[in-house]
Amino acid sequence: MQEKQQEPRKHNSIRTAIIYLLIVGILIIVAIVIRVIFLMFHTSYDGKHQYIVAITRSAKQADIIAFSPDADEANKIRVLQVKGVFRPRNLSRQIGIPIDAQIDYTQGKEIKLKDTMKDIFFRFHLLPVSEQMNVMDAFRLMLFAGGVKEADIIQKTVILPLSEDAQHQLKNFFQDKTIFSEGLSITVINATGRSGIGNSFGKILSHVGANVIAVDTAETERELTTIEYSGFGGWTIQRLEKLLAIKANKVKKTGFSDIIITIGKRSLYLPIF
CA distance to 19, 211, 263, per residue, from 185 (Å):
63, 5, 17
Q: Residue 188 CA to chain centroid, in angstroms?
A: 22
Please provide the size of the chain in residues: 273
51 close to 141: Cβ distance less than 8 angstroms = yes
Residue percentage of the chain with pLDDT more than 70: 92
Rounded Cα distance between 197 and 215, Å, is: 10
Question: How confident is residue 147, by pLDDT bands cut at 50, 70 and 90?
Answer: very high
Q: What pLDDT, in 10s, does the model give residues 44-85?
A: 899 999 999 999 988 889 999 999 999 887 789 999 999 998
161 close to 91: Cβ distance less than 8 angstroms = no
Mean pLDDT of 180-192: 96
Q: What pLDDT, in 10s, does the model give residues 99-112?
A: 999 999 887 567 78
Q: The whole model's pTM is what?
A: 0.84
Q: What pLDDT does residue 201 have?
A: 95
